Chain A
Amino acid sequence: MINAGFVVNPYAGMGGAVGLKGTDGCVDEAVARGAVKVSPIKALRFLSNLMDRDIFYFTAAGEMGADILKSAGISRYEVIYPLNFTDRYNNNKTGPEDTKAACRIIAARNADLIIFSGGDGTARDVYEAVGDHIPILGIPAGVKIYSGVFATTPDTAADILKRWESVLFTDAEILDVDEEQYRLGNLDTNLFGIAKIPYIKGLCQSCKQASFGDDREDRIEIGAFIVDIMADDTLYLLGAGSTTKAITERLGIRKTLLGIDAVYQGQLIATDLNEAGILELLRSYKKVRIILSPVGSQGFILGRGNQQISSRVLSLAGVDSLIVVATQAKMQQTPDLYIDTGDPDLNHKFGDTIPVICGYRLAIRAGIIHN
C-alpha cells in the first residue's frame, strides 16, 4: 500500500486561458475574465486512473483535496488539515500557507510521497514545507510549469503511482518565474531548491531551460525560412519564445517574448492575445497557421506556457495549421515532444511524429508523446 499525501491548489492555472501569465495574486482578475478552475479537474483525472490501486491518502479539507477524492468515489483517505483560508488578500480562498501547513502535517505522518496539483508556485510552497525529506510529484495544472517535479500529464502522474514498485528516485529542480517580470516580458527563472521525485523515464518533465547555448544562427535561419514561406492570404499566430521572435525580427517588427502575437501580410496586427482574442481573429481569417516552439527542455508544444492556444482554438484552426520551430540544440535536449491540450482525442489527432523546422528548408522529424 502507498501512503500518499494529496494536496490541490484549486486556483492554479486559472490565469492561463484568459491571458494572465500566472494566477498568483490574480485570482479575482482571472475570475472576472471568465476563468474556471482547472486544477481540481486535473486532480480528479489523476485520481480516476487509480481507482483500483491500494493507496491511502492524507489530504486537506474541501477543495484542497477531500472534495475531489469524494467526487472520485474514493473513501480511503484522512483529512489531516482543515481549511484556514490563510490568504488574507483573497477572502475565503486558500493560499500558499494552507499548502505549506498541509504538507508539513503529511510529512509528519510519514507518507511515502506528496502528490500536489498546481504550478510552479505550488511546487515552491510544497518544497518550502517538506524540502527533500519526502518525494513529491506534481500534477501539472499551473500556468507556468518550469520546475522538474511534474509528471507530463495527470494520466502519467497516475502511471508513476501504478508502477510505484519500480520507480527510481531522483533529484529535480524547483524553479519559479518572477510573475511580475514575466508579465512584463522578461523570463527570469530562479532555482529555488532541489526536491526528490519518483521518476520513470518519459513520464516526467525535465526542468525547462531558458537558453540552450549559442543557437542564434539556427534561429536566424528558421526566421528566414518561415518568412520566405509566409503567404499573403494567411494569418500567422506566433507563440512565445526567442525562436518565434526571430521570425518577427526577420520581418522587422516587434513581438512580445511571452505572448501569442498575430501577423498578417508582414504586419503585427495583435499582441499578447488571450484565447477569446484568438477565437475572434479566427472568425475573420480563413487561413491560419500557428507557429509554436517547444517550451524549454520539457519539449511541450501545447499545454504549457501557451494555454491561449486552447483545444477550442486548435479545433477551429485545425491540427494541420501547426508549424513547430526549434533550434537543433534545443531538439538535442528534447528529442521527443509533448502535446497536452487537455483533450486526449485532440492530442491524438497530431499523430505520432511531427516535423520541427530547425533551419532553412530543414526539419527534424520528432516523436510526439501524448496521452
Chain B
Amino acid sequence: MTTKFILDENEIPKKWYNIQADLPTPLDPPMHPQTKKPVQPEDLEPIFPKELIKQEMTRDRYVDIPAEVRDIYTLWRPSPLFRATRLEKLLNTPAKIFYKYEGMSPPGSHKPNTAIAQAYYNMKEGITRIATETGAGQWGSSLAFATQIFDIECKVYMVRGSYDQKPYRKLMMQVWGADCVPSPSPDTNSGRAILAKDPDTPGSLGIAISEAVEDAATRSDTNYSLGSVLNHVCLHQTIIGQEAKKQLDMADAKADIVIGCAGGGSNFAGLCFPFVKDKIDGKADDMEIIAVEPAACPSLTKGLYAYDFGDVAGLTPLLMMYTLGHDFIPPSIHAGGLRYHGMSPLVSRVHADNLISSTAVYQNEVFEAAVMFARAEGIIPAPEAAHAIRVAVNKALECKKTGEEKTILFNNTGHGHFDLTSYESYFSHTLMDYEYPTDLISESLKKLPTVP
C-alpha cells in the first residue's frame, strides 16, 4: 500500500483559489475603526502593498501565482499527502486516514505559503521593512525566512508566553536575520500601555497585532504583514487543498471528512476551501468539514458572529467574524498559534452558512492524540496540528463503532520539534484543561464595538 502521494514540481498549482467568488452569502465589508464606514483600498495602503489589497477584495475565482513565488515554493512543495496506515492499524479502524504534511517547509509549517507571497509583493512595491506579530513563532520564523530571500528587514513581535516557552523559534528568526522581541514590548505605545497595566501579562496575538500595526503605520519604510485571518492569507494557503485534491485522486479516494485546526483560520481555509467549493457546487453534500479549536479559545464554537476589532488596541479595521471579544486574552495554552480571540471573516462566513462545523477540544486530550500519532506515524506534530489529529482520531474511532469506511483527511500543519517542553508538561501531568466558561459569559461580550 502506498504511504506517500507525491506530485511533481510542475504540478504545483498555478493559481490560488478565491472562495469569495463562490460564497452563497457575500462577505460583510471590513469597517474603518474610526468612521465605522466600509474600508476603502486607500485606507489600507499605509500598511499593505496594493496587490495584496487587491487580493483582499477581489471576487475573481482564481488569482495567478507569480512564477518567482512558485519557484521558491519548490523548496518544499508540493507537500506530501500521507496515508496514515499505521495509525489506522493502531486504532483498528475501518476508516482511511490521510494527512497533508506541511512540516517539510524550511520553517517547519504551512506559514511560508503566504509569507513568500507577501514578502514578494512588498518587495515589488519597494518596501524595505516589514513588521509582524507571531504567536507560537511559526509565522514569525516563516516571514523571517521569506523576507531574507527578498532582502527585506523584518521586525517580529512575538507573544511573550510563546517567546518564553519557545526560545528556538526566536533563534530561527535571528538566523534568518529578523529582529524578534517579546510582546507586549516597550517599543510601541500599545505595548507600553499594556505593560503599565499588567507587567506580567503573557501577551496575546491581539496585543502583538496592535504593536505590529502601530509599527507599520508610524514608519514610511515599513509595511505590516499578517500570518492569518485576512482574505489574502487564506487565499495563498489554498495551495494546500488544491494539491490535496489531486493527491486524493492519485490515491483513488474521496474525502468524507476534512479537518483542520483553527486559530486565525488560514491553514484551515487553505486545506478546506477547495473542498468547501465542492459543497457549494453540490458535489459533496455529505462531506463534513470540521474546524478544531482549543476549548480555551473557542471563537467559532462559542463566540458571537459580530463586528469586532482584529487586535486588542482597536487599531485594525472592524471585521465581521466569530469573536470572543477583542479584549479577551486567552490563557497560555501550549498551542500558542491558536490563541486568537477572533476568526478569519471567510472561515466565519462559511461557518455561519453551515458549510463547515466546529468543535473545541482540551489540551490533555490533544497531547494524548499527538503522542499516539507520533508513536504510530513517527512525526511529532506541533500542538496546533494535534488539535486536528485529536478529532481525526475521534472520527476514526466512531467509524470503528459503526463499521463505516470513511475517508478522513486532516492538515498536519507542522512539526513540534520546538514544542517539546509542551510535551514535557503533558508527560508530567501539569497541563491544565482550560476552557471558556460560555454559560456564564454571554453578557461579558458587551464591550464589542457597535457598528451602525
* Residues of A that sit less than 8 Å from B by CB: 217, 225, 228-229, 323, 328, 331-332, 335, 355, 357, 359, 361-366
Contacts and interface: CB of A to CB of B under 8 A. Distances in A.
B430 A355 contact: no
Contact of B434 (A228, A335, A362): A362
B253 interface: no
A362 B437 contact: yes
B440 A364 contact: no
Nearest to A328: B432
Nearest to B443: A229
A332 B443 contact: no
B325 to A, nearest CB: 8
Contacts of B440: 225, 229, 323, 357
A323 B430 CA distance: 24
B197 to A, nearest CB: 12
Contacts of A217: 200
Contacts of A323: 440
Contacts of A355: 435, 437
Contacts of A335: 429
Contacts of A331: 432
Interface of B: 200, 295-296, 324-325, 328, 331, 362, 429-430, 432-437, 440-441, 443-444
B441 A229 contact: yes
Contact of B436 (A228, A229, A363, A366): A363
A228 B433 CA distance: 23
Contacts of B434: 362-365
A228 B328 CA distance: 14
Given A228-B443, A362-B296, A365-B295, A357 B432 contact: no
Contacts, number: 46
A225 B436 CA distance: 12
B28 to A, nearest CB: 25
Given A361-B324, A362-B436, A363-B435, 9 more contacts: A217-B200, A332-B432, A361-B436, A363-B434, A363-B436, A363-B437, A364-B432, A365-B362, A365-B434
A89 B95 CA distance: 75
A359 B441 CA distance: 12
B430 A365 contact: no
Contact of B328 (A332, A357, A361, A364): A361
Contacts of A361: 324-325, 328, 436-437, 441, 444
Contacts of A364: 432-435
Chain B contact surface mostly:
loop
Most buried by B among A225, A323, A335, A362: A362
B422 to A, nearest CB: 17
Nearest to A320: B439
18 contacts: A217-B200, A225-B444, A228-B443, A323-B440, A331-B432, A332-B430, A357-B437, A357-B440, A361-B325, A361-B441, A361-B444, A362-B436, A363-B435, A363-B436, A364-B435, A365-B295, A365-B434, A366-B433
B430 A359 contact: no
A357 B437 CA distance: 7
Nearest to A226: B440
A365 B434 CA distance: 6
A217 B324 CA distance: 22
B428 to A, nearest CB: 12
Nearest to A230: B443
Contacts of B435: 355, 363-365
Contacts of B429: 335
A60 to B, nearest CB: 43
A326 B104 CA distance: 43
Contacts of B437: 355, 357, 361-363
A328 B202 CA distance: 15
Contacts of A229: 440-441, 443-444
Contacts of B443: 228-229
Sorted from nearest, which 6 A-B pairs have the closest CB atoms?
A: A365-B433, A363-B437, A229-B440, A363-B435, A365-B435, A364-B432
Contacts of B362: 365
A106 B120 CA distance: 85
A357 B444 CA distance: 14
Contacts of B200: 217
Nearest to B445: A361
Nearest to A367: B433
A331 B331 CA distance: 15
Contacts of B436: 361-363
Nearest to B331: A362
Contacts of B295: 365
Contacts of B328: 361
A352 to B, nearest CB: 13
Nearest to A357: B437
A328 B429 CA distance: 14
A365 B331 CA distance: 13
B452 to A, nearest CB: 26
A217 B200 CA distance: 10
A328 B434 CA distance: 10
Contact of B444 (A228, A332, A365, A366): A228
B262 to A, nearest CB: 19
Contacts of A365: 295, 362, 433-435
Contacts of B324: 361
Most buried by A among B328, B331, B436, B440: B440
A42 B51 CA distance: 76
Nearest to B429: A335
Nearest to A217: B200
